[in-house]
Structures are given as C-alpha cells and as structure tokens.
Structure 1
Amino acid sequence: MTDHLRYAGRDPDIQEQAFREIIAQSPHLTGWLRTLKALDLPDSWIVSGAIYNQVWNHLTGRPLLYGIKDIDIFYFDPDLSYEVEDRAIHRVTAHFPPEPPIELRNEARVHLWYSERFGQPYPQLTSAREAIDLFASRTHAVGARLTEKGLELYAPYGLDDIFSFRLTPNPRLDNRATHHAKAERQMAHWPELSLVPWPAA
C-alpha cells in the first residue's frame, strides 16, 4: 500500500519540489503543457483536476489519467467577443488529443455569462490567475504553465490541501453547492479524500 500522505504537512518548499517532480513524471501533463506553450494563448494555464488528479493518482498508485474528466485551460484575452473565444476553442482542441476533452475558457468573459448560468454575480477579472483564486475549493486552486524559464506554478492557497487529500472550501464566492457536488464525485474516485464542509453562514 502506498504512503499517499507522505508529503502532507511538510514544508512548502518540499511540497513544491515534490509537486514539480510528479508533474515531470507525467508524460500526459508535460505534453499538454508543451502544446499549450506552443499555441501561445495570452496568459494561459492548465488548471485544476488535470493537475491535482494526476498527483493523487501518483501518490495512490493509480493510472495517471484515472478519474480525469477533462483538461481545463484558462486564458485571458481582453477581446470579449464570443467569436474570438470560439476560434480559440477550435484551435486548441485541434492540437490536443480527443481524450480527455478540452475545456477552454477566456476568463475575461466569465462575468458576462456567469450570473445567468449560476444565479449570482461574478467579478470582472484582470487575469487568469484571479479566476484560479475563485475556485469553489481551495484544494482545486492550482495552475501550471511552461515559460521560457521553465515550469511556472500558481497555487494561491498552497499545496498542503492537495497533499493532505483534503477538500477545503473557498468561500470567496457562494459556491457551497459546487464544492459539495465536486467533492461527492471525487470521493467516489479517491476514497482517501476527506471533506471539509462549507462554513456556516
């Protein structure tokens, strides 16, 4: 049995080094990162489950793509037209394998449709990083991209929730339902996970 919690509670520098090593050992993730860099979308990141799911799989001895529903890619283009985003979606999809499917979003546009879809306002953002800050669970708030200097990580709440297999809410927005719905799905795939409930009002 694997010691899946071997990095839980460790020094942040140790966790980041382990995180980088796990990413480097995934041919899927390293390939996706190289492809995204070559496409040169503005302020673009692979985010969320396409990253941390592979970390959980590595630590629990599961196949690296186990449980990965899609590849979420955030980018930030000040052009707010749907047509420009749609062209970007088709361009990126053509350069990635068909499975897992690509979910590409221009984070500059989210405030235009979010309230109609989810029934609450969403702030107008100024970068893709700000969108990562607003994930319903702090655990999910991680992004990675390749730059000329190498692998860049963005994890505004640190990596300990990921390494502790702990689903921790992020009450920056009222995303209680999303936090618990995602937790239910993930705990079915990774029973090692624990859920921190949404804080009481």
Structure 2
Amino acid sequence: MLISEDDIIYIIKKDKEMMHILETVETLKLPDWWVCAGFVRAKIWDTLHGYTTSTKIPDVDVIYFDQGNIEEKYEKRLEKDLFSIHPRVPWSVKNEARMHKVNNLPPYTSSVDAISKFPETATALGVKLDKKGNVILTAPCGIQDVINLEVKPTTFFTMTEERAAIYNDRIAKKNWRSLWPKVKVHYI
C-alpha cells in the first residue's frame, strides 16, 4: 500500500523503464525540469490496482522553466533529441516559461508553480533526479488524492466557471475509470 512520498519514490526507483526515462531527460541539463502528470499518476494507480504491467500512457510530459529561450521550436528540437535516445517513448516537452500564454493565464514562476495549476490534484505531480541521481518528487497539491484514487480539481480549476468547465470536459474525455476502475471521479 502506498501511503507516503517515500513509497512513491520507491516504486519509481524500482521501475527500470521509468528510471531510464528520468536518466535520459537528465542528460539534457534543462533548468527546473520535471517529468510529470500521467507518468507519475499512472505508476501510482497501476500499483494500487495491482497491475504487473504498466498502463500505456499517451505521452511522457517533460517540463522545464527557461525564460531565456521561449521558442516552441526549441522544445520540438528537445523532443527529437529525446526520441533519438529513446525512440519508443511518446515525448512531449514544454517550457513552462511560455505555457501561460498558451493557456491564457498569468505567468508561472517556476515549473512547480505550473504543476500546481494542472487541472487535477492527482495529476499535479512531477519527478526528477537530483545531482546525485536520487529521485525527487514534487506534489504541490499533496499526494492524498492520488493515493486515495480520487480525481479532484486543483484549487486553481475551481476559481472560475470557465476553468471548472475545462476540468469537467477533460475528466469526461480521459475516461480513466476504464483503465483504473477503482478511481473515484469528482466533477465540479
């Protein structure tokens, strides 16, 4: 049973594929980088469902924060670099220093600030390696919802009707219960 951040870090460290992905991203030496969202959430939910094979996720979200280079074409080059190293991974690289414009929001202050504004608390997670190769977890909205198999909106997505509608539409499209039947979904 997963009950702490240390438990989450432990299951990631035991997963050779996840560690290879983290090691691959680390080679890019990006500022304030994290592999986030479904990459972490799916591992937790797979574990809590007793799955022995990892659920296929649509993409591996790599984020970083670099105000000095906000060109989208640079992100695409990074994706190609990652793909050349690990071609079976569906890489998605985004610089959170520019994503506030895409999302029509005030500027983020860091990658963790951006993660805190993801739609669901269970997805507002990221992992990376520190300089010594240790796995670090960030969970700005906590881990209780993800380990309790609950999908709830982050505070940010309860602030306006427009954001609530985005959250509700996203949850309906994701249909996570078809993959993880124990998940409890909360709509706004």
TM-score w.r.t. length of structure 2? 0.86
C-alpha RMSD of matched pairs (Å): 1.8
Q: State the distance in 1 between where 2:165 and 2:50 align.
A: 30
> Which amino acid in structure 2 is aligned with residue 138 of structure 1?
T
* Identity over aligned pairs, percent: 27
Which moved further from structure 2: 88-97 or 132-141? 88-97
| Corresponding residue to 1:23 among 2, 6, 12 | 12
Q: Residues of 1 paired with 2:11 and 2:22: CA distance?
A: 14
Query: Could you say what secondary structure the match of 1:123 adopts?
Result: coil
Give the counterpart of 1:94 among 84, 88, 92. Answer: 84
Unaligned runs of 5+ in 2: none
Kindly provide the CA deviation profile for residues 25-44 of structure 1, in whole angstroms up to 9, marking residues without a partner as x.
21121111111112211211
Deviations 1:73-93 (A, max 9, x none): 111121122333332232223
Q: 1:48 aligns with which of 37, 60, 75?
A: 37
1:123 aligned partner: 106
The CA distance in 2 between the partners of 1:140 and 1:35, in whole Å, is 22
Q: Give the letter aligned to residue 129 of structure 1.
A: V
Give the secondary-structure state (helix, strand or coil) at the position aligned to 2:21. Answer: helix
How much has 1:163 moved relative to structure 2?
0.8
Q: What secondary structure, in the 3-state scheme, does the structure 2 residue paired with 1:139 have?
A: coil
- Answering whether residue 70 of structure 2 is matched by residue 77 of structure 1, we say no
Structure 1 counterpart of 2:45, one-letter code: W
Could you tell me which residue of structure 1 aligns to residue 27 of structure 2?
38
Distance 2:116 2:53 in 1: 25
State the aligned residue count.
180
- Relative to structure 1, is the Cα distance of residues 161 and 60 closer, same or farther in structure 2, using a 3 angstrom cutoff? same
Q: Kindly provide the amino acid, as one letter, of the partner of residue 19 in structure 1.
A: I
Contact 1:58/1:64 (CA < 8 Å) preserved in 2? no
Deviation, 1:182, is 4.0
Structure 1 residues 148 and 109, CA gap change in structure 2 (3 angstroms): same
2: CA distance, partners of 1:168 / 1:109: 26
| CA–CA separation in structure 2 for the residues paired with 1:177 and 1:57 | 28
Q: 1:58 aligns with which of 47, 57, 64?
A: 47
What is the rounded CA distance, in whole Å, between the counterparts of 1:37 and 1:70 in structure 2?
18
Q: Contact 1:26/1:64 (CA < 8 Å) preserved in 2?
A: no
Matched, 1:162 2:152: no
Q: Which stretch shifts more, 88-97 or 135-144? A: 88-97
Amino acid at match of 1:146: L
The 8 Å contact of residues 29 and 51 in structure 1, kept in 2 or not, is answered as no
CA shift at 1:169, angstroms?
A: 0.9
Residue deviations 1:139-187 (CA, integer Å, cap 9, x gap): 1100000011411110011111111000011141443344334433211
Are the equivalent residues in 2 in contact too, given 1:46–1:143 (CA < 8 A)? yes
Work out which of the residue numbers 115, 128, 142 in structure 2 matches 1:145.
128
